[in-house]
Amino acid sequence: MNPKPSLEPSSGPLAGVRVVELVGLGPGPFCGMLLADLGAQVLRIDRVEAAKAVDRSRPATNAMHRSKQSIGLDLKNRQGLEVFLELCDRSDVAFEVFRPGVAERLGIGPETVCARNPRLVYGRLTGFGQSGDLAPRAGHDIDYLAISGALEQLGRADSPPTPPISMLADFAGGGMLLAYGILAALFARESTGAGQVVDAAMVDGSAMMFTPFYAAQASGFWGPRGTNLLDSGAPFYDTYETADGKWIAVGALEPQFYAAFLIGLELDSTSLPDQNDKSGWPILRERFSSAIKLRTRAEWEERFSGVDACVAPVLTPEEAPLYPHNKERNTFLNIGGVPQPAPAPRFSATPAASPRPPMHPGENTEAVLNDWGIPSEKVAALIERGIII
């Protein structure tokens, strides 16, 4: 069984901030994790059906639900709806990841919730935003990247646009953007005294992530996909296979790093095309590839150890937590038997506590609701009726 959720005050820069998270797909829980990592008290609202169906004999393992509390709540029941509204009355932040209009149909939209608690920051995360032709449409990471102009720029010159795993739009341009917006709204509340609605759209976030490349294209510095310095076009900024079928990453952009890289490969610069002569890049790529294929990844690690050539091993997710630098900085943690990235960034004056294991839906509902100020007799009656679990 999972341990009971800690009801002790949290530590970290967001200690004392209460957040209601309506359960949803990845970007929403990721936003909640970011806030919980920094000390916010995040209460996840799960569906009653999910709380009933979960196997409580097995530990919860979803890292995005670490350090949170959870209740199962029937929002379609009038009394369940009232519990949700009471929780929002006691909260600093509430956020949801529904399509536009869904929260309003449930009776928990910002007009209703914020009228009761004008200091509430109400976050909304969608793919296309709360307005615009596509606002009510379904989509996924690849679609948001496509219409933001980001996807066309991803991939090699001889390949079609290549979608990354769903990190860029969903998590960076979505969950992290929402967390950023929530924090900005909390900061604004300090001077205005009022909360506000944060409309975070993954299309908007995807476009923002590519701001420097739009500027580079406008100036003529950036060309077609896969032909530039930072998108695999340059042979000195790419990945190469080693003798043992593993990979190293090379980022030897600046002249001094490039010179150190050539020394490590035992290549004579006078026998090679100039680094910045694009017509010679195919020759450089072939020479680099042939040289790197002669040694294993471990041998290249040893060869470039302590050398500023911007060469690094391409680690697997299993290897990364064991890498010496990552171990020294505790970049990864093992929580409940699940290796996962540690909270970031780090704070000198208000460090956050180590994350707690995630909770199952509806874990210790009574204790959590009592802590949030819902009377125990009311909680017991709602549990008996199956409205909460």
Is residue 6 situated within a structural domain? no
Q: And the tokens for 272? A: 């090679």
Q: Are residues 357 and 244 in the same domain?
A: no
Question: What per-residue confidence (pLDDT) applies to 8?
Answer: 62
Is residue 1 situated within a structural domain? no
The domain boundary residue, chosen from 287, 307, 325: 325
Residue that is written with structure tokens 């569906």 in the block: 47
Q: And the tokens for 302? A: 């040893």
Name residues of the chain where pLDDT drops below 50: 1-5
- Selecting among 170, 199, 204, 231, the annotated active-site residue is 170
Q: Are residues 201 and 316 in the same domain?
A: no
- Alpha-carbon radius of gyration of the chain: 25
Q: What is the DSSP letter of 292?
A: H
The domain boundary residue, chosen from 325, 344, 373: 325
Task: Reply yes or no on whether 308 is catalytic.
Answer: no
341, β-bridge pairs: 332
Q: Please tell me the total count of domains within the chain.
A: 2
Is residue 295 situated within a structural domain? yes
Q: Are residues 121 and 248 in the same domain?
A: no
Question: What per-residue confidence (pLDDT) applies to 1?
Answer: 37
Question: What per-residue confidence (pLDDT) applies to 2?
Answer: 42
Is residue 256 situated within a structural domain? yes
The domain boundary residue, chosen from 325, 353, 371: 325
Integer angstrom CA distances of residue 36 from 16, 175, 195, 245, 261: 11, 13, 20, 40, 42
- Calpha distance 45→387 (Å, rounded): 12
Q: Are residues 310 and 343 in the same domain?
A: no
Q: Are residues 115 and 140 in the same domain?
A: yes
Q: Are residues 278 and 152 in the same domain?
A: no
Task: Give me the count of residues in the chain.
Answer: 389
What is the side-by-side order of every strand in the sheet holding 311-313?
237-241, 247-251, 311-313
Question: What per-residue confidence (pLDDT) applies to 10?
Answer: 75
Q: Are residues 25 and 112 in the same domain?
A: yes
Residue 147 φ then ψ, to 5°: -85, -10
Mind giving me the DSSP string for 90-149?
T-SEEEE-PPTTHHHHHT-SHHHHHHH-TT-EEEEEESS-SSSTTTTS---HHHHHHHHT
Residue of 267, 234, 226, 266 whose CA lies nearest to 250: 234
Q: And the tokens for 124? A: 């909304």
Is residue 232 situated within a structural domain? no
Question: What per-residue confidence (pLDDT) applies to 7?
Answer: 57
Q: Are residues 311 and 370 in the same domain?
A: no
Tell me which H or E stretch contains 28: helix 27-37
CATH number of residue 200's parent domain: 3.40.50.10540
Q: Are residues 66 and 142 in the same domain?
A: yes
Is residue 23 situated within a structural domain? yes
Residue of 282, 296, 283, 270 whose CA lies nearest to 304: 296
Query: Taking each helix axis from N to C terminus, what angle separates 176-192 and 202-209, rounded to the nearest 10 degrees?
Result: 100
46, β-bridge pairs: 72
* Domain residue limits at 23: 18-211+331-384
- Calpha distance 247→239 (Å, rounded): 6
Q: Are residues 38 and 105 in the same domain?
A: yes
Is residue 183 situated within a structural domain? yes
**What are the pLDDT digits (tens) for 101-128?**
999 999 999 999 999 999 999 999 999 9
Task: Reply yes or no on whether 170 is catalytic.
Answer: yes
Q: Are residues 158 and 39 in the same domain?
A: yes
CATH number of residue 291's parent domain: 3.30.1540.10
Is residue 167 situated within a structural domain? yes
Cα 124 to the center of its chain, rounded Å: 16
Question: What per-residue confidence (pLDDT) applies to 336?
Answer: 86
Q: Are residues 318 and 188 in the same domain?
A: no
- Calpha distance 277→67 (Å, rounded): 52
